């Protein structure tokens, strides 16, 4: 699918995977709408061709307004990417007792329900556009994690939320096929995002050596390049692509 001259919306677009994706899509010729919380957008880098929209992905009405803005410009909305996510750790039974059910619900609300909101809201707007010569209207890319397959100790909420994203991918692609909309998911391994910047260098080095090849952390721009590859590959649909250097997570 041709990216130039279209519009794209990216949640979690203020930093990390989202910011890299926003920049890559804009450099590819799209008018990009970066959606994030107001405080995050205040710190977000500015990039030509990018408009910032404040919205909480767990708030259906807020996100609907942001998607409507993205779809209301002169360029047809063709691409939506879900990058908003949180990853707090907690064991089912820890030193402080049983896993906080409110924390579990929050993680699922942001990572899974937030992804569903963008998926549905963007699909509605994309489906209303004119198709290209091959009947294509757009592409939606979700973000899961290798934790969806190999969740570690303390990741029960995170793994459940990301496993849900993987589980949505194929039925969503089948649901939206009649509208000419493809759906794929990327499951990253360990990516060098601002969240990882809070970890000391020695531990980061140990994480990197656990990756078979290349033995390093992934870069956000590699995620963004994979988004571009999915957009440009018209036969990729209903698939979850691991981006992990052949890493398979150990229990701890």
**Catalytic positions, written as ranges:** 158
| ∠ CA 13-39-106, rounded to 5° | 75
User: What distance in Å separates the CA atoms of residue 251 and residue 248, rounded to the nearest whole number?
Assistant: 10
38 beta partners: none
Q: Which tokens sit at 32?
A: 């990009």
Determine the Cα–Cα distance for residues 7 and 44; give it in Å rounded to an integer.
20
DSSP 244: S
Which two structure tokens, joined as six digits, stand for 117? 């909101």
Closest CA to 12 of 61, 45, 71, 57: 57
Select from 90, 92, 68, 83 the least CA-distant residue to 37: 83
For 241, other C-beta atoms within 10 Å of its C-beta total 16
- Helix ranges (H only) for the chain are 16-27, 38-43, 60-71, 101-108, 114-127, 147-150, 156-176, 201-209, 220-232
H or E element in which residue 80 lies: strand 77-82
Record the tokens describing residue 214, joined without a space.
């290349």
Cα 76 to Cα 213: distance, rounded to the nearest angstrom: 39
């Amino acid at each position: 699918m041709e990216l130039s001259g279209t519009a794209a919306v990216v949640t979690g677009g203020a930093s990390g995977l989202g910011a890299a994706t926003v920049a890559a899509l804009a450099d590819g010729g799209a008018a990009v709408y970066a959606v994030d919380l107001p405080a995050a957008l205040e710190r977000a880098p500015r990039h030509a061709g990018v408009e910032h929209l404040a919205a909480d992905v767990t708030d259906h009405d807020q996100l609907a307004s942001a998607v409507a803005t993205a779809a209301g410009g002169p360029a047809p909305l063709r691409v939506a990417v879900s990058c908003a996510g949180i990853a707090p750790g907690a064991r089912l039974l820890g030193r402080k007792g049983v896993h906080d059910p409110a924390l579990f619900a929050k993680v699922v609300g942001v990572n899974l329900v937030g992804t569903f909101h963008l998926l549905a809201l963007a699909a509605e707007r994309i489906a209303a556009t004119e198709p290209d010569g091959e009947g294509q209207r757009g592409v939606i890319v979700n973000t899961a994690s290798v934790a969806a397959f190999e969740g570690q100790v303390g990741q029960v909420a995170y793994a459940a939320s990301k496993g849900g994203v993987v589980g949505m991918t194929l039925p969503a692609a089948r649901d939206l096929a009649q509208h000419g909309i493809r759906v794929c998911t990327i499951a990253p391994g360990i990516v060098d995002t601002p969240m990882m910047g809070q970890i000391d260098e020695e531990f980061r080095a140990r994480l990197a050596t656990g990756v078979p090849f290349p033995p390093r952390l992934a870069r956000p721009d590699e995620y963004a390049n994979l988004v571009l590859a999915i957009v440009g590959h018209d036969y990729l649909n209903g698939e979850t692509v691991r981006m992990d250097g052949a890493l398979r997570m150990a229990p701890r």
